[in-house]
Structure 1
Amino acid sequence: MYDKILVPIDGSESSMETAKHAAEFASKLGGAVTLFHVVSPLPAAIQGTSHARKFLEEMLRHGEEALKDAKKEIASFNLQVDLDMVVGGPAVEICQKAENEQYDLIIIGSKGLSKNRGFKMGSVSKRVVRHAHCPVLIVR
């Protein structure tokens, strides 16, 4: 039923815990996991500047490290783990990937790197819940 599971991660402790929950869930169901990182685009005001390229390269390196770290965290579950990263709006990219590649489930953390204490659930996870074509499991 849940053969393909999409797990958005941002490198935060919370997303690493989410990856572990997803791996445990997938291992019990015989599913595969795709760890997915979205790099937010740079503001238009700084695009094209010399600093913009360096900043984007640093963000892409951070994303690669986050993906590799998460994959190491769940290696003991012995399941198929794919890695993917794109540049774009996080909620939009997550929902598009899930729909375009026919994922059965999205497992996402309730909060990421920008932990707003006044909110129970982060803005990305809220948007994903509202717009995803498939079920979404929120990890707190």
Structure 2
Amino acid sequence: MYRKVLVPTDGSEHALKAANYAIELARLKPGTEITLLLVHQPYVPLDIEAPFVAYREELEKYGEDMMAKTAAVFEKAGIKVEKVFKWGDPGTEIAEFANNRGFDLIVMGTRGAGALTGLLLGSVARKVVHLAQCPVFLVK
């Protein structure tokens, strides 16, 4: 069974569905460590830094709100979670974080856009599946 589970979140409906699956896993094995991870891809305007600072602060606030929304689902179920916020490419950061911290499982939502969309546009879930060293459970 899994003892360290990573649940990437963006506050979306798909991420909340994944959180509910992680809750069920944690209920099967009390003591399971759950970590929520929210990754924002940075945007840096080339001409002016001041708007970027305000934009970054807004994203951080939004991230805190999304993290709190997802953490509340776990807390309601009586499960404690660690909350982590990172900047970077979401797929890469999620996989590297899981690999570096020795997670046994990643449970994450996917929008289920289909094979052609994933092939043409790329996908966070696709990247995580390819880069992560642990199993990845995708919730649609």
TM-score calculated relative to the size of structure 1: 0.87
Q: Is the 8 A contact 1:107 1:136 kept in 2?
A: yes
Amino acid in structure 2 at the alignment position of 1:109: G
Cα distance between partner residues in 2 of 1:8 and 1:66 = 11
Aligned to 2:79: 79
DSSP-derived class of the 2:10 partner: coil
Per the TM alignment, residue 13 of structure 1 is displaced from its structure 2 partner at its CA by 1.6
Per the TM alignment, residue 135 of structure 1 is displaced from its structure 2 partner at its CA by 0.4
Per the TM alignment, residue 39 of structure 1 is displaced from its structure 2 partner at its CA by 1.1
Aligned to 2:95: 95
Aligned to 2:117: 119
Cα distance between partner residues in 2 of 1:116 and 1:43 = 28
Superposed counterparts of 1:1-140, under 5 Å: 1-30=1-30, 31-43=32-44, 45=46, 49-111=49-111, 119=117, 123-140=123-140
Q: Number of residue pairs matched?
A: 136
DSSP-derived class of the 2:117 partner: coil
Root mean square deviation, CA, Å? 2.1
Q: Is the 8 A contact 2:118 2:126 kept in 1?
A: no
Q: Which is helix-richer, 1 or 2?
A: 2
Gapped runs of 5+ residues in structure 1? none
Following TM superposition, the consecutive aligned residue runs of length 4 or more in structure 1 with deviations greater than 3 angstroms are 115-122
Cα distance between partner residues in 2 of 1:56 and 1:76 = 30
Amino acid in structure 1 at the alignment position of 2:130: R
Q: Is the 8 A contact 2:5 2:103 kept in 1?
A: yes
Cα distance between partner residues in 1 of 2:12 and 2:117 = 17
DSSP-derived class of the 1:37 partner: strand
DSSP-derived class of the 2:5 partner: strand
Gapped runs of 5+ residues in structure 2? none
Work out the percentage of aligned pairs sharing the same amino acid: 32
After superposition, the C-alpha distances for 1:67-113 in whole angstroms (9 at most, x for unaligned) are 111111122322231100011110111111101110000001112xx
Per the TM alignment, residue 44 of structure 1 is displaced from its structure 2 partner at its CA by 5.4
Cα distance between partner residues in 2 of 1:130 and 1:116 = 18
After superposition, the C-alpha distances for 1:13-60 in whole angstroms (9 at most, x for unaligned) are 2111211111111221221211100011114525x5211110011111
